[in-house]
Amino acid sequence: MELIQLSAYDLSIPALLVLALSALSWRLRLGVERQLLIAALRSILQLLLLGLVLNTLFSQRAPLPILALALFMLTVAGYEVMARQKRRFRGLWGIGIGTLSMFISSFSITLLAVHLVVRVDPWYTPQYLIPLLGMLLGNTMSGMAIALDNLTRDAWQQRGMIEAQLMLGENWDRAIGEIRRNALRSGLIPIINAMAAAGVVSLPGMMTGQILSGSPPLEAAKYQIMILLLIAVGTGLGAIVAVWIGSRRLFDQRQRLRLERLTGA
Amino acid sequence: MGRLILRQFQGADLEPVDLTIEAGECVTLTGSSGSGKTRLLRAIADLDPHGGAALVDRQAVDQTPPPEWRRRVGLLPAESHWWQDRVGDHFNGSANELLTELGLNAACLEWQVARLSSGERQRLALARLLDRQPAVLLLDEPTANLDPENSARVEALVQDYAQQHGAAVLWVSHDPRQRRRVGQRHLVIRERRIETASA
């Protein structure tokens, strides 16, 4: 089966529909037409740019530019994790915790996948590395952000409960233990739901893409299974590391709760 | 035994203070609201950063693991917080004797925290603290929500405990008559300085 190429004319049809939607938003006074158009424009430009960059990378196959792109994606993901939190850690910790957890949840898992599962040679073959990394970053990011956001929000709201335990001689990690477990649970629930609903309620994006480009559905399903399982592992490991470092950072070396280390204090 | 010694101790934006509370002695502390009484107690319990030295008997705060220090220097905050649903889950041992002296009984260990009155919470928070047998007591208005009868029970219990365990007590109170009843010495915070006061 040949891939049916999309022309500029083909793309103009959905683009016109988006324009119509923004006109409707203006007519209904929803006030989101501006945001809608900017977001649509951003997605067009970003994706075209990515396509161009990948085209170049695919043809050159030099490891350094590929690694640079991967690191750039990682930093942006780390920033996104931080930006989605209401109360962030001050200073370098804010972006540091996000980036480190994204590194663990996505970078290492992707390397593992291209090395041990797909067995690509060389491992940095961009056709595999970049899409896999992108899938993992995009899908583990929200789990990470939710877990950290829950941690800092609950610590903020339940200060009295944490300190009551400290006053009675509990260790810091017991005093925040329940909050930590709750944060991890909430970070893991979306991927658990996604795995349970995969193929029944939703046709996952990666599988859709492969089917559209002509892969046999069963092969596409196998890739999708791999990516879903990796996302689950990545989300779990990344969230555990992020929440552990974050909860440790909430206390100082004398095990005092230091909420002024969060913004908004 | 617990003798509390503060040497050039600095917390809660107050001037450095030298203070020794002997084992079994009760010292009262007062001062207008916002003067730093609560924050001083928190600093002594090592819940907030502080300067200078604090010791219980010969053991200094910075040479004691934080949980051990806080078990020895028991702080009773003005407002108690509870992290389990059931009252009894906050106690370590059998607290029957303590509860009886506070006008409560063992049945209240089965109660739900959410249904406690403010007076019950305050007395149970004291029982929860004494149950862990601290060597020093830092009490932040321990009878603020109590009627005279229960206030008397709390005063009697704390005095008994201080005698039996040789515990030093630092008692924050706004009530001059209570300060005279419970304290052997009296302190007041005035303009960031801790001064000796008559009751």
Which of A41, A60, A79 is the last residue before a domain boundary? A60
Same structural domain for residues A145 and A33?
A: no
Q: Is A171 exposed, middle or buried (0-12, 13-18, 19+ CB in 10 A)?
A: middle
The 3-state DSSP class for residue B116 equals coil
- Tell me which residue range forms the domain holding A49: 1-60
Distance CA A175, CA A195 (A): 33
Q: Does B172 touch chain A (CB under 8 A)?
A: no
Q: How many domains does chain A have?
A: 2
Tokens of A182: 């709750």
Q: Which pLDDT does position B199 carry in this prediction?
A: 63
Asked if A91 and A144 sit in the same domain, the reply is yes
Least confident of A58-67, A138-147, A194-203, B169-178: A194-203
Query: pLDDT value at position B121?
Result: 94
Chain B touched by A157 (CB under 8 Å): no
Asked if B81 and B88 touch (Cβ cutoff 8 Å), the reply is: no
pLDDT at site A209:
86
Q: Does A152 have pLDDT greater than 90?
A: yes
Give the closest residue to A246 by CA, choosing from A187, A180, A185, A202: A180
A165 touches B at CB < 8 Å: yes
My answer on whether A108 and A222 are in the same domain is: yes
| pLDDT > 70? residue A1 | no
| B135 to chain A, closest Cα gap in Å | 12
- Contact at CB, B47 and A168, closer than 8 angstroms: no
> Quick one: three-class SS letters along A132-168?
HHHHHHHHHHHHHHHHHHHHHHHHHHCHHHHHHHHHC
> Is A259 in CB contact (< 8 Å) with chain B?
no
Can you tell me whether residue A218 is helix, strand or coil?
helix
Residues of A in contact with B66 (CB under 8 A): 166, 172, 254-256
pLDDT band at A208 (very low <50, low <70, confident <90, very high): confident
A22 and A87 share one domain? no
Helix axes A126-157 and A177-197, enclosed angle (nearest 10): 140
In whole angstroms, give the CA distance from residue A263 to residue B95.
Answer: 41
Task: Count chain A–chain B contacts defined by CB atoms under 8 A.
Answer: 51
Same domain for A83 and A163? yes
Asked if the model's pLDDT at residue A205 lies above 90, the reply is: no
CB A242 within 8 Å of CB A98: yes
- A160 touching chain B per CB within 8 A: yes
Domains of chain B: 4-79+134-196 (3.40.50.300)
List of chain B residues whose C-beta atoms are within 8 Å of the C-beta of residue A168: 70-71, 74, 128-129, 132
> For chain A, how are helix, strand and coil distributed in percent, rounded to 5?
75, 0, 20
Q: Nearest-CA residue of chain B relative to A174?
A: B67
Q: What is the pLDDT along chain B (199 residues), one digit of tens a residue?
A: 789 999 999 988 899 999 999 999 999 999 998 999 999 999 999 999 999 999 999 999 999 999 999 999 999 999 999 999 999 999 987 788 899 999 998 899 999 999 999 999 999 999 999 999 999 999 999 999 899 999 999 999 999 999 999 999 999 999 999 999 999 999 999 999 999 987 6
